Amino acid sequence: MYKRILIATDGSPLSDKAAESGLSLAALTGASVVALKVVPRYPRSYFEGGMPVDAGDVKRIEGQWGDAAQAMVDAVKTQGEAQGVTVKAVTAKSDLVAEAVIAAAKKHKCDLIVMASHGRKGLKRLLLGSETQHVLTHSHIPVLVLR
């Protein structure tokens, strides 16, 4: 059925639950997994970041974010390997999360994307948008959304 599944994670409890389900599906179908965490770039302008930060501090902060992201996908990898699933841990640096998820799925030749729905409603959803919704509407491969 599925040969390679991309599991997008952000480290939230709901995302962890979606990763568990994605790994279980991979184990059932014999698929391999690409675990992905998209890391944002540090805001560089005054209005985005609130106050200017030294370039060295920006590099340090982005490094910390990258290390945290790697730890998240490594945790998915460890969990998957315990179930006998081959997992490739990947991080991507982008401010456009949905586009990065879709691009990673294409790059790694995935035939399913698994991700969590954050369940925002009303004004919060309208103002914050939904990366999951964007992936759903722009992906050319199936997307499994878990709550």
Residue 114 near residue 146 (C-beta atoms within 8 A): yes
What would the mean pLDDT of 43-72 be, rounded to a whole number? 78
Q: Which residue has the higher pLDDT, 54 or 34?
A: 34
The enclosing H or E element of 21 equals: helix 13-29
Provide the pLDDT for residue 128: 46
Q: Tell me the residue ranges of DSSP E strands in 1-147.
A: 4-8, 32-39, 87-93, 112-116, 143-146
Q: Both tokens of residue 96?
A: 């456009």
**pTM metric for this prediction:** 0.86
Give residue-wise pLDDT tens across range 72-86. Answer: 999 999 999 999 999
Phi/psi region, residue 120 (left: phi>0; alpha: psi -120 to 50; beta: rest), is beta
pLDDT band at 130 (very low <50, low <70, confident <90, very high): confident
What would the mean pLDDT of 88-110 be, rounded to a whole number? 96
Q: Which of 124, 138, 118, 96 has the alpha carbon at shortest distance from 17? A: 118
Residue 146 sits at φ, ψ, to 5 deg, of -115, 145
User: Which residues 6+ apart lie within 8 Å of 14 measured at CB?
Assistant: 116, 117, 118, 119, 146, 147
Query: Is 25's pLDDT higher than 70?
Result: yes
Helix (H, G, I), strand (E, B) or coil at 60: helix
